[in-house]
Structure 1
Amino acid sequence: MNDVKANITMDDLDKIDVRVGTIASVEDMPNSNKLVKLIVDFGDFKRQILVGMKGERDNPKEIEGQQALFVVNLAPRKMAGEMSEGMLFDIGYESGIIPVLAQPEKPVPNGTKVG
C-alpha cells in the first residue's frame, strides 16, 4: 500500500484538466454488469461519463445531485456501446475498498478547476 508511483513533473500534472461537476443523473446500462451512465453538469457544458460502480453501491442513484471531481480532458472512449467523455475521480478502488466520491468540502460553481 506504500508503493508510490514514479515522480512526475508539474508539466505532466498541468496536462490533466480536473473540474468539479454536479451529477445530474445516474442511469443503468442494462448491457453492462459494471457500468452506469452519469450525466454531469460542468456549468458551461454537460458530459456523459460511464462509471463502473454497479455492485459497489446498493443504489447508484444515491449520488445524483452531488458534486464530485472529474477529469474532463481524457480522450473519449467507447464502452459497452456508449461513449464516455471523461473520468470520475473516486477514492478507494486502487486500495481495495469500496470507492467513495472525491468531493469539494463545500459547494462551488460547476466547472471550477482543480489546482
Structure 2
Amino acid sequence: MVKSTITMKDLDKIDIRVGKIVKVFDITASDKLVGLVVDFGEFQRTILVGMKKERENPQAEIEGKQALFVVNLAPKLMFGIESHGMLFDIGYTNKITPVLAIPEKEVPNGTIAG
C-alpha cells in the first residue's frame, strides 16, 4: 500500500544527507539499539538505531560506510543518550533484513539528497 500523498513542500521539510559512520558502539542497556557517530562534514551526530538483532556484528558490517540520514528530526533521548537523526534503511517495513541506503559512489560527507 502506498502512503498518503504529500506535496513537494512537505518533502522539502526533510533534510536528508550523506554521512560516514565513523564509529558504532553498543548500547548495553538495550537489546535492540546501537549508537552511531556519523560525520556529516561540517558536523558530527550521534544517532541511535535498532539494528542489534538484525546484524551479527554491526561494527564490522557498517563502520566506515556512507549512508543516508535524516538530520533535522527532533532529538530523542533513549537510554540516557540523545539521538540526533535517523538512519535510512531499506527493508524493515517489508520484514526483510534491512540494508543501508547508500550513495552509488562516495560523495563528500554532508552532501544533501533530493
TM-score of the two chains, using structure 1 as the length reference = 0.97
Given residue 81 of structure 2, which amino acid in structure 1 is its aligned partner? Answer: E
- CA offsets 1:2-27 (integer angstroms, 9 cap, x no match): x0001000000000000000000000
After TM superposition, give the deviation of residue 35 of structure 1 in Å: 0.3
Partner of 1:75: 74
Q: Distance in 2 between matches of 1:70 and 1:102?
A: 9
Partner of 1:37: 35
Unaligned runs of 5+ in 1: none
- For the residue of structure 2 that corresponds to 1:50, the secondary structure is strand
Q: CA RMSD in A?
A: 0.4
Given residue 60 of structure 1, which amino acid in structure 2 is its aligned partner? Answer: P
Instruction: List structure 1 segments (4+ residues) > 6 angstroms apart after TM superposition.
Output: none
Given residue 49 of structure 1, which amino acid in structure 2 is its aligned partner? Answer: I
Partner of 1:5: 3
Q: Distance in 2 between matches of 1:91 and 1:78?
A: 24
- CA offsets 1:44-80 (integer angstroms, 9 cap, x no match): 0000000000110000002000000000000000112
Q: Distance in 2 between matches of 1:5 and 1:29?
A: 32
Identity among equivalent positions (%) equals 68
- For the residue of structure 1 that corresponds to 2:67, the secondary structure is strand
Q: Distance in 1 between matches of 2:22 and 2:66?
A: 9
Q: Distance in 2 between matches of 1:6 and 1:37?
A: 31
